[in-house]
Structure 1
Amino acid sequence: MSRPPAASPVRHENPLGGPPPERFRLRWPRPLAVLALAPLLRYAVARHAVPPGTARRSGCDACGTPIGLARPWPALGPRARCGGCAARVGAPPGTAELTVAAVALVLLLARPPAGELIATAWWLAFAVPLVFVDVAVHRLPDRLTLPAAAGTWLLLGLTALAGAGAAPWLRAIAAALGLALFFATTTLLLGARGFGIGDAKLALGAGALLGWYGWTVPVLGLLLALTLSGLVALGLLVTRRAAWSSHLPFGPYLVLGTLAALLLAW
């Protein structure tokens, strides 16, 4: 007597033709886990968003309540409010979290090679708080720009040793130094009308990431940054929110131009 065939397992297919919903439930926790970095970035912004020549911030400006990783809430949370007096601390509420989520999503969708991904993520971990600091107080502190550059150079060097070869790493270093020299030269020649030394230090990491992919990519990143900053400056002039003598921070545009050029290279 023959036995009836065993019932095949039920598969939950996506009605739109894609993978089953279970796969999405397994994938998304990993990118969302990156949001755990947001308090660290908020801490960096709160510590370094002070005028030049001022010591790093260690507490609320209004009431002096300490701000630190030992007691991150609520000052380093999405509300960005002091636990003592409810004054705003650091980056505006929700902005750091949204920025981290957007950057993580871009890297997830772009899917660059592992070595380049790690180097880019390292640089962005410093570049994101630098954007908030530069917008707030027009400065790019060495405590963030120099580790960003050093780690990027090191991680790209390890990628070269892992099989990419020395040529792209040497080109990356040369491009980083060339881009930094460009910014430093404008500062020496034009003074306050040129770019700042902080921009030159930020370019040490940005130029390395871009130079890894060829000599034209750093030029593209610089052109994108200059174009974007020019359009924003023109809009501010037209709306009379800035004058010809106004000094606009260039760090945010350098970060955006670098990321845009990397996306085109990937």
Structure 2
Amino acid sequence: MPQALLIGIVALLGLAVGSFLNVVIHRVPRDESLVRPGSHCPQCGAAVRNRHNVPVLGWLLLRGRCADCRAPISIRYPLVEAGTAALFVAVAAKFGPSWALPAYLYLAAVAIALALIDLDVMRLPNAIVLPSYLVALALLVPAALLGDGPAPIVRGLAAAALLWLLYRALAHFGGMGGGDVKLAPLLGFYLGWLGWGAVAIGGFAAFLLGGAVGVVLMATRLAGRKSRIPFGPYMLAGAFLAVFAAAPITDWYTSLLIPTA
């Protein structure tokens, strides 16, 4: 498949998935059905018309307000849709028409949902995290067997175990929540599938990003030393930094340790 065609298809898919993620982000923390009722205004309960359900364009057409009661509609809805499409395009550009592409597209969708839910309610729901293990295995095991063989799977499982041990130890001393411990092996599996460099970069980047944001929040007095800050978004951001940039970062770091003549 030509790369341009793949990118176009994935962009449209990302918009549609982003629209669904808005439902997931709103309803899963509330233990509500993702199917019933259909999309509706949370203020007046009026059903969203089909023409207003078009990702991004629907919000623009409505000028950010409900068609019935004129209550404001958060700009986060079109941003999630556009952001999902953008991340899907980036993943497609990275992996191309490969067997691994569906797995990392799924991870992108899950990452957006989990990051925003964690920011909203400081929780990483089991309803999303735990089934993602089965999806990862179902998509990446065939991708490995149809590619270079079982080595990426073995490495992924080892990385999953390593990150679980690390986060479990941190949780024992009160440094991590239970949701973070459950998410860590999933990210370890995806990063381990790519290589140990990705595991190292993704694992380190999570703490670097989380620490940097924490310092900024305390410096601006938006948070204190005892404030709870969700760590899931930084784990996910670190993982995707590794997905996209582990190789150049590893090469750069190696060049510092072993300078060329």
One fold, TM greater than 0.5? yes
Whole-angstrom CA distance in 2 between matches of 1:170 and 1:130: 26
Larger of the two Rg values belongs to structure: 1
Q: How does 1:4-23 map to 2 (within 5 A)?
A: none
Whole-angstrom CA distance in 1 between matches of 2:99 and 2:52: 35
More displaced, 254-263 or 154-163? 154-163
Match of 2:86 in 1: 102
Match of 2:240 in 1: 259
Whole-angstrom CA distance in 1 between matches of 2:45 and 2:108: 30
More displaced, 198-207 or 74-83? 74-83
Q: How does 1:126-205 map to 2 (within 5 A)?
A: 126-190=110-174, 194-205=175-186
Q: Structure 1 residues 226, 154: closer, same or farther in 2, change over 3 A?
A: same
Give how far 1:124 is off.
1.6
Whole-angstrom CA distance in 2 between matches of 1:171 and 1:104: 25
Q: Structure 1 residues 178, 118: closer, same or farther in 2, change over 3 A?
A: same
Q: Structure 1 residues 26, 224: closer, same or farther in 2, change over 3 A?
A: closer
More displaced, 147-156 or 221-230? 147-156
Match of 1:20 in 2: none
Whole-angstrom CA distance in 1 between matches of 2:100 and 2:203: 20
Higher helix share: 2
Match of 2:198 in 1: 217
Give how far 1:62 is off.
4.0
Find out whether 1:56 has 2:56 as its counterpart: no
Give how far 1:96 is off.
0.5
Match of 1:3 in 2: none
Deviations 1:5-53 (A, max 9, x none): xxxxxxxxxxxxxxxxxx9986764243121222111111111244xxx
Contact 1:115 1:159 (C-alpha < 8 Å) held by counterparts: yes
More displaced, 117-126 or 24-33? 24-33
Match of 2:95 in 1: 111
Q: How does 1:56-75 map to 2 (within 5 A)?
A: 56=32, 62-63=43-44, 74=52
**AA paired with 1:231?**
A
Contact 1:38 1:97 (C-alpha < 8 Å) held by counterparts: yes
Q: Structure 1 residues 56, 26: closer, same or farther in 2, change over 3 A?
A: closer
Whole-angstrom CA distance in 1 between matches of 2:75 and 2:217: 22
- Unaligned runs of 5+ residues in structure 1 are 1-22
Q: How many pairs align?
A: 234
Match of 2:18 in 1: 38
Deviations 1:132-167 (A, max 9, x none): 111111111011111222211221111122132122
CA RMSD of aligned residues (A): 3.0
**AA paired with 1:135?**
L
Give how far 1:107 is off.
1.6
Q: Structure 1 residues 92, 204: closer, same or farther in 2, change over 3 A?
A: same
Q: Structure 1 residues 27, 168: closer, same or farther in 2, change over 3 A?
A: closer
Q: Structure 1 residues 244, 91: closer, same or farther in 2, change over 3 A?
A: farther
- Unaligned runs of 5+ residues in structure 2 are 248-261
Whole-angstrom CA distance in 2 between matches of 1:81 and 1:45: 20
Match of 1:8 in 2: none
Report SS of the residue matched to 1:118.
helix
Percent of residue pairs bearing the same amino acid type: 32
Greater relative CO, 1 or 2 (CA 8 Å, sep 6+): 2
TM-score normalized by structure 1?
0.75
Whole-angstrom CA distance in 1 between matches of 2:125 and 2:50: 22
Give how far 1:173 is off.
1.3
